[in-house]
Amino acid sequence: MKLSLKVYPRWKECQVAIIQELSFHTTKLYNIANYICTEKYLPYIKLDKELKTNWMCGPP
């Protein structure tokens, strides 16, 4: 009886490009949020609301 299944997805080039682009933006968003938390000590709820509207600017 098999308890696990190995899946090897075959991505098209356009799908790989989309995944790479989204991964890039998520790492940048994480770095921005981490910097704001360490430098300005904002609560996570307030930071979440501010970064949902415009994550490129960050809070004032």
Give the model confidence (pLDDT) of 7-48 as tens digits. Answer: 899 999 999 999 999 999 889 888 888 888 788 777 878 877
Helix H, strand E, coil C: the string for the chain is: CCCCCCCCCCCCHHHHHHHHHHHHHHHHHHHHHHHHHHHHCCCHHHHHHHHHHCCCCCCC
Angle between helices 13-40 and 44-53 (to 10 degrees): 130
pTM of the model: 0.58
Q: Which residue has the higher pLDDT, 8 or 1?
A: 8
Domain locations along the chain: 24-60
